Amino acid sequence: PQTLSICRVSAKFCSCVWRSAVVADVFFGFRSRVRDYPVVYQRAEVSVVDVFVDGLMLPNVFRQVRSNLSQRRVFSTRTAVKMKHHLMIGTWTPPGAIFTVAFDDEKLTLELVKRTEVPEDQPISWMAFDHARKNIYGAGMKKWGSYTVKSPTDITHHSSIPMGGHPRANDLDTKTRAIFILAAKKAPYCVYGNPFYDHAGFLNVHSVNPEGGLDKNIQNAPLDERSAIHGMVFDSEEEYLYSADMWANKIWCHKKDQKTGELELVGSLEAPSPGDHPRWVEISPSNAYLYVLMEAGNRLCVYVIDEKTHMPVYTRTSYPLIPPGMDKFFPKMYRSDVVFTTQSGEYLFATARSNSPKLTGYIAAFKLGKEGQIERQICLNPTPTSGGHSNAVSPCPWTDEWLALCDDEQGWVEIYRWHDEFLGRVAHLDIKEPGFGMNAIWYD
């Protein structure tokens, strides 16, 4: 009766009141969905008003509006709509493979849907998508690899490029290894890679072909002779690149040439403590704060970015990534791992690993303010295992609700739900292959 009475009002009145979420509730019965899809809501408004003016039947109204909503659900950053998400995961040791798993966020299940072979000497210890999710770039032992992605189950090896820089980096008798890869999201879409361990004092820059496959090594930006950079991050405009140098105990800043993608040194600064060993960096969406994860220091240090120099400045504020005192009870048994913000920019997650199966790793969550300042540390929870080489957390790119966590001590991937600032495990999948459980990347 309420609906029919509203149908009798004039078109002018209807076009006015329809903008009210209360009226939307009368028709839809799901206020949250109207709020979740503001763009679609405008389209639904026009459709419904037109239907009333034309005097069409109410069932057609529901079909039209729901059709409009369903067309845009995949782009929602919330979780009103249930679906399957595919993730890809690599391995630390050969023989290499890319594992595609599917997470059903309604049934809360994980399943393996495809094992894609890669060159045996190129297990992917870190992987990343290009800007369009049509290519995967991998750090594979002595080479950088690219893989064409046509679907979650159709992935093919495209090309591999040796590490650049030191002439001995690619020798089989050296420990030098491709450790991390970062794909630009803006043209010219270059791909940046970090050699690690010995002979690692360069940042490798690669061009791509029109389809996004790796093309050639165009620059090897020199660092210190003792450098070994692990994690890197661009600011939101991709003008400045920040890098965590574990072995030189430094943080680097480079400026990217917007036309060529090549790097120019801005500067570097020492970590706060000689024993910190910066491993990972993350930046706030506002570009105001840089979060530097210290592998040996097992802490998260907060920096502000100087607006004029673009160099990070330490705020003398840090947060523990393992419970206080654990490093004294178990000296040299913990290594902090990665740090990432959620897609909303409201939360930050960081992990730490242990060096023994008898000790767990940890995952920490932080609440961020509007500019990216850390307002508080929410939790510091044990992870199921030591984490092995991994314990890498991967927040979902489209919602804050889901996070993936990988482990290569036992070989598994898990999905956690982040809700009301509580973290709960909802799905687990064992994959008993050598070295399985590096970082997970979300495909859809």
**What does the pLDDT look like over 60-94, one tens digit per residue?**
333 333 333 333 333 334 444 668 999 999 999 99
Tens digit of pLDDT for each residue in 278-295? Answer: 999 999 999 999 999 999
Rg (CA), the chain: 24
By CB neighbour count within 10 A (0-12 exposed, 13-18 middle, 19+ buried), where does 39 fall?
A: exposed
Closest CA to 39 of 69, 62, 19: 69
Alpha-carbon gap, residue 155 to 410, rounded angstroms: 26
Alpha-carbon gap, residue 148 to 36, rounded angstroms: 33
Cβ-contact 226, 249 below 8 angstroms: no
Residue with tokens 């495990």: 425
Closest CA to 356 of 380, 327, 333: 333
Q: For 411, phi and psi rounded to 5 degrees?
A: 90, 80
Domains and CATH numbers, the chain: 2-75 (no CATH), 84-442 (2.130.10.10)
Q: At residue 312, what is the residue type?
A: P
Number of H helices, E strands in the chain: 7, 28
Q: How many CB atoms lie within 10 A of CB 410?
A: 16
pLDDT value of residue 6: 39
Tokens representing 211 are: 């389809």
Q: Residue 382: is the preceding peptide bond cis (ω within 30°)?
A: no
Alpha-carbon gap, residue 442 to 78, rounded angstroms: 15
Closest CA to 217 of 136, 131, 146: 146
Residue with tokens 């960081």: 350
Cβ-contact 147, 156 below 8 angstroms: yes
Give CA 65 to chain center in angstroms: 33
Alpha-carbon gap, residue 318 to 381, rounded angstroms: 18
Q: Which residues of the chain have pLDDT under 70?
A: 1-82
Q: Which residues are marked as active site?
A: 230, 279, 295, 353
What is the pTM for the complete model shown? 0.82
Cβ-count burial 106-140 (b if 16+ within 10 Å, e if not): eeeebeeebebebeeebbbbbbbbbeeeebbbbbb
Alpha-carbon gap, residue 429 to 407, rounded angstroms: 11
Alpha-carbon gap, residue 108 to 104, rounded angstroms: 5
List Cα–Cα distances, 188 to 183, 184, 208, 433, in angstroms.
10, 8, 8, 36
Alpha-carbon gap, residue 36 to 31, rounded angstroms: 9
Tokens representing 52 are: 């009333």
Cβ-contact 357, 316 below 8 angstroms: no
Tokens representing 244 are: 């965590």
List Cα–Cα distances, 265 to 202, 255, 307, in angstroms.
12, 6, 17
Q: For 38, phi and psi rounded to 5 degrees?
A: -60, -35
Instruction: Provide the H-helix boundaries in 214-253.
Output: none
DSSP state for residue 60 in the 8-state scheme? H
Per the DSSP assignment, residues forming a β-bridge with 252 are: 243, 268
Closest CA to 142 of 128, 113, 168, 162: 162
CA dihedral 297, 301, 306, 312 (to 10 degrees): 20
Per the DSSP assignment, residues forming a β-bridge with 159 are: 146
Check residue 256 and give left, alpha or beta (phi > 0: left; psi -120 to 50: alpha). beta
